[in-house]
Amino acid sequence: MNLQGCYTAIVTPFRHGEVDYGAFGRLLEMQLDAGIDGVVPVGTTGESPTIDFDEHMKIIDFVVEKVAGRCPIIAGTGANSTTEAIRLTKHAAEVGVDASLQVTPYYNKPTAEGLYRHFLTVAEETGVPIVLYNVPGRTGCEIPIDVIRRLADHELVLAVKEAGGSVDRVSAILDACTITVLSGDDGLTLPMMSLGAKGVISVASNLLPAKVTSLTHLALAGDFEGARAIHQQLYPLFRDLFVETNPVPVKAALAMLGLIAEEYRLPLCGISNAGREILRESMKAVGLDV
């Protein structure tokens, strides 16, 4: 499986405390109509920390059925318990996802050897290709370059989603091994791709899937001038989708566009009035009608 381009870290819409599958289906069709390269359900942007185990599996079932082979699905099935990650990933495998996104185990702060064994065990026990997810700002634990190097030769380790905020990490990873790197930050997609990353797992593409996809495809084709023009156009949105904790701003933005209800689960809550106005102005700046 060759991962490149734009993969949307899709939100999980709620209504009256339940997953809103009607809205979810419409969001997926919007992504597919825009020519997205793939979707990533139940990741951080999909509010996986507040979704219970049964909901998690049902969401994966729904996305697989709705997408029906029209684009790759990378299901978020990571956990800080290896046993739990295996259980979720096995279910995802049974219903037919293409790969799983495995977040760095959080809170328990494993050693480098523990991280290596965790990721390797999930891949080998499930047989599902995995994407490593480095996001130390959320997990308190960074995947060392040497762990990525050790895992990179395994046939089931496809890529690393790099969301540590460091463009230099791309060079360090590619200097150490041959593995696909995907940006985990919209604002760093273009600089990371200029150094050899192959695309992005994107928050902004929830709103503008065709534009973000075009940015990555232009960069893959070596048209960095064209990609830079889209980057500059979309930069206000890339910046302000993180004016407060993700996915609060992107769900607020989708609600402003009438695509979902503006609903979260505690401990996440609604965007502040100040944050909403900042977000509204950046949405206008990129051509969204709000």
Give the DSSP H or E segment for 102: strand 99-103
* Mean of pLDDT values over 63-71: 97
Is the pLDDT assigned to residue 84 strictly greater than 90? yes
Report the pLDDT averaged over residues 215-242: 98
Q: What is the mean pLDDT of residues 56-66?
A: 98
Catalytic (active-site) positions: 133, 161
* Domains of the chain, start order: 5-227 (3.20.20.70)
- Are 45 and 9 within 8 A, CB to CB? yes
**pLDDT score of 136:** 86
Would you place residue 16 in the very low, low, confident or very high pLDDT band (cuts 50, 70, 90)? Answer: very high
Question: How far, in Å, are 32, 34, 206, 281 from residue 133 at the CA level?
Answer: 24, 25, 19, 31
pLDDT bracket for residue 257 (50, 70, 90): very high
Task: Indicate if the pLDDT at residue 71 is higher than 90.
Answer: yes
Residue-level pLDDT at 181: 98
Strand 18-19 and strand 14-15: pairing? Answer: antiparallel
* Residue-averaged pLDDT of the chain: 97
266 with 51: CB under 8 angstroms? no
Question: With the C-alpha atoms ordered 244, 185, 165, 101, is the resulting torsion angle positive or negative?
Answer: positive
| Residues 62/123/209/55 CA torsion (nearest 10 deg) | 30
138-188 pLDDT tens trace = 888 899 999 999 999 999 999 999 999 999 999 999 999 999 999 999 999
DSSP annotation string for 146-189: HHHHHHHTSTTEEEEEE-SS-SHHHHHHHHH---EEEES-GGGH
Q: Does the structure show a pLDDT above 90 at 232? A: yes
pTM: 0.96
Question: What is the per-residue pLDDT for 276?
Answer: 98
Angle at which helices 53-67 and 82-95 cross, to 10°: 30
Percentage with pLDDT > 90 across the chain: 96
